[in-house]
Amino acid sequence: MNEKKIIQIFLFFNFLIFFYGYLEGFFKPYWFDEVLTISLAENIKNLSIYEIFTQDTHSPFFYSILFLFIEILNFLELKNSDYLIYLRLINLISIIPIYFSYKILKENSANINLEITFLLFISSYFFFFFSLDLRMYFILLSFSLLINVININNSLETSHKFLFLISSIILSMLHVFGLTISVSILLYRFLINFYFKNYKNCKIDFLFTIILLIIFILFYGPSLVDSENMQMFSWVKNNLWYYRVFIEWTLNSFISLFFFSFFILFNLRTNFFNFNILKKFFKSDFFKLSSRVIFPSIILMITTLIISFVFMPVITYRNLVVILPNIILVNGLLGFYFLKIKKSKLIILSFLTLITFINFNSYYQSMIKSEQNIKWVIDNTFEKNCSDVPVYYNDAGRKSFLNLYVKKTVQVYAKYSRPIENLSDLNPDEFIRNHKKFKNCKTIIFSFHISKLEDYIKELNKKNGIDFIIDYAPNVKTKNSKSGAIVKIKMN
């Protein structure tokens, strides 16, 4: 059995791991950011045009698509909290750019290994986790792959120019990093075309860039001048752990880079310092193709780092999803040359086994268990007979969260209303004096997305004769207050 057949078998097996995880995890509870996304989408019909563009720091494009899906559920009379889970099907839009990416590579790219490319594409935490995540990141990942494939195929200004333009417009409307990777590719191609005096292609690159900058002004301008939206960026800081987490989430791709690069360099070790060999390398197809995906990534990172240090932090590990396709395509190129090395079968088997182990042992687990169980917390907090009785949200001192996020999130699932106050505003002595008014309500405090509830309840139990107990949400990765919890008074 040759190496290509071995890789195809592993590709099929790893796709089965993903597919089984998709089916098993499809009905897992939504977590905080997903429920907030549903709330923002539902709220669109009540907003003015300006409010639609300023209700969140992200572009309203994804929320608008989600709003249409919600309206379809309404039309089918399936609009209730039990059927909201089917909104996850919105990510199936990604099949379209993934299909076009495969088609272009299969028909035009002779120097890239298709099997390794798509094995690594499905072998990342981003692919496994975000395929079931009700936010824009999975669609962002798939369209990022497509524009990078068009770029590496060198057909951006020719046979696939309209496909690139449509894809880059979608990316730009989805997320500011979608805009950044699109403009980074266009800037790289403009410079290369200008160097080779291909002015016709320069005009196309320049025109596309202008179109995307207009998209940026229209979709992000209102949010950038809104003071409340700018305050939401306060939680984002430049941290080295963003890059560590990104590497962990794309571990298979980085392992592959190491594997392929090491063994190719080892195989060429005797000629490594040969000037003629190096000169030949810089003229090779591998260098030309890999440059097309490496340099746009470098441009993106330099741009975002400058913006982060000079204006405001914009980098998180999730945003870096747009450069994952670049890393994967470089691996596909390296894999093509790696398989030309004799006696590579044992090495490729070891490499594929390691990838499969990571997929099954780590990434698959992220699909089947939820980070939080918001629905369970809300169902057990907002009871019919508690409409006049306040409940306290575990804010850990972040008082602004209540109006910015929590109340919007509660509205998605709550069948009954109830006054919500911040836990940091709770006066223990006053609560003890008036605790009898809570006798008909089981839940006194609720928590999701923020930890430290355990420490607060421990201190509260020391100060008075009332025993508070914590019930943790089921069907989550870890049982703690950040995953979802309610606090009740222990009944003797």
List Cβ neighbours of 201 (8 Å cut-off, separation of 6 or more): 157, 189, 193
More confident position, 59 or 235:
59
More confident position, 274 or 176:
176
54 and 142 in a common domain: yes
**Reported confidence tier of residue 356, pLDDT bands at 50, 70, 90:** very high
Cβ distance 119 to 355 under 8 Å?
Answer: yes
Task: Determine the pLDDT at residue 233.
Answer: 61
481 and 332 in a common domain: no
Task: Determine the pLDDT at residue 331.
Answer: 95
List Cβ neighbours of 243 (8 Å cut-off, separation of 6 or more): 317, 320
* Helices vs. strands in the chain: H and E counts, helices first: 24, 5
147 and 50 in a common domain: yes
Q: Could you identify the residue written with the tokens 């939504």?
A: 30
pLDDT of 348 higher than 90: no
Comparing 26-35, 123-132, 261-270, 316-325, the range with the smallest average pLDDT is 261-270
Q: Is the pTM of this model over 0.95?
A: no
388 and 304 in a common domain: no
Q: What is the arithmetic mean of pLDDT over 71-89?
A: 82
Q: Which of 311, 333, 368 is the last residue of a domain?
A: 368
Task: Determine the pLDDT at residue 490.
Answer: 76
200 and 127 in a common domain: yes
Q: Could you identify the residue written with the tokens 């911040």?
A: 422
pLDDT of 277 higher than 80: no
Task: Determine the pLDDT at residue 154.
Answer: 95
Angle at 318 between CA 181 and CA 309, to 5 degrees: 70
End-to-end Cα, the chain, rounded Å? 70
Buried b (16+ CB within 10 A) or exposed e, 351-372: bbeebbebbbeebbebbbebbb
382 and 356 in a common domain: no
143 and 38 in a common domain: yes
206 and 86 in a common domain: yes
306 and 439 in a common domain: no
Q: Is residue 265 classed exposed, middle or buried when 0-12, 13-18 and 19+ CB atoms within 10 A define those classes? A: exposed
447 and 363 in a common domain: no
**Reported confidence tier of residue 381, pLDDT bands at 50, 70, 90:** very high
Tell me what the pLDDT averaged over the chain comes to.
Answer: 89
Domain that holds residue 21: 3-368
pLDDT of 237 higher than 70: no
pLDDT of 103 higher than 90: yes
**Reported confidence tier of residue 80, pLDDT bands at 50, 70, 90:** low
Q: Which of 313, 346, 368 is the last residue of a domain?
A: 368
Q: Where are the beta strands (DSSP E) in 346-461?
A: 391-393, 420-422, 445-447
pLDDT of 215 higher than 60: yes
